[in-house]
């Protein structure tokens, strides 16, 4: 059966006890797919398209992905870090070029690439609205790349922003790494992190991606559990 390969950053990666309770979207995505579908999660904390490629993290994907598999490509958070030349990419030039490299890895092996826009940060202006568009240029660059290369795109950025607006500022703390004292390991207590996810947030946003796959239909919908969403 098919394998989903996942290239991305810390919002996707598989976490160990060292970063508990942080949970990546790719870590919980098996909840939504048929049991015979495998996931090979290559996402890594802090990586951009540039650093992922420069560190040869795309090589094992290329070596192992095969016909009928899927490559989920989910970046943006670290590509936008202008103060870090090892990771920064200009959205409408190098970032788009790099995305095409990921797409080509899948297509060279007759696998199916899917571009997924970055999850929104929890950044509320007031109790009902988020300070959206943190990733706006990179989201647009991903949309342009998907259109140019005729690659399916799931707009997780828009879906996650809508979910944040739906549940509000206070409830969304349960989705992100807001860790009050007395409830988590001592080295994590008091952390306020509006980017990385706890289990509930990872599951919620994995559900958004599953909804996106269902909307794509065909071979993408066939990855999902029956009668899901």
Residue positions annotated with a catalytic role: 10, 189, 196
> Residue 118: exposed, middle, or buried by beta-carbon count in 10 A (0-12, 13-18, 19+)?
buried
Query: Burial code of 12-39, b = ≥16 C-beta within 10 A, e = fewer?
Result: bbbbeeebebbbbbbbbbeebbeeebeb
The phi and psi torsions of 30 (rounded to 5 degrees) equal -60, -20
Measured CA to CA, the distance from residue 224 to residue 210 in angstroms comes to 7
Closest to 161 measured CA to CA, from 214, 205, 115: 205
Pairing of strands 176-178, 192-197: antiparallel
Dihedral over alpha carbons 133, 135, 138, 144 (to 10 degrees): -40
The phi and psi torsions of 86 (rounded to 5 degrees) equal -70, -20
């Amino acid at each position: 059966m098919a394998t989903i390969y996942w290239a991305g950053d810390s919002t996707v990666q598989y976490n160990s006890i060292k970063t508990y309770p942080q949970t990546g979207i790719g870590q919980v995505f098996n909840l939504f797919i048929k049991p015979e579908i495998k996931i090979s999660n290559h996402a890594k904390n802090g990586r951009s398209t540039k650093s992922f490629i420069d560190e040869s993290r795309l090589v094992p994907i290329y070596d192992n992905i095969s016909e009928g598999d899927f490559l989920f490509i989910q970046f943006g958070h670290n590509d936008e870090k202008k103060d870090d030349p090892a990771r920064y990419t200009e959205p409408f030039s190098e970032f788009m070029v790099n995305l095409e490299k990921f797409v080509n890895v899948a297509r060279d092996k007759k696998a199916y690439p899917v571009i997924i826009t970055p999850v929104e940060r929890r950044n509320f202006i007031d109790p009902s609205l988020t300070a959206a568009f943190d990733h706006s240029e990179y989201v647009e660059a991903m949309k342009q790349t998907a259109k140019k290369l005729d690659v399916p795109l799931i707009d997780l950025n828009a879906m996650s922003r809508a979910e944040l607006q739906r549940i509000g500022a206070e409830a969304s703390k349960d989705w992100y790494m807001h860790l009050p004292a007395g409830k988590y390991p001592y080295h994590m207590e008091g952390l306020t992190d509006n980017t990385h996810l706890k289990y509930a947030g990872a599951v919620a946003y994995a559900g958004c991606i599953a909804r996106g796959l269902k909307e794509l239909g065909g071979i993408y919908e066939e990855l999902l559990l029956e009668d899901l969403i």
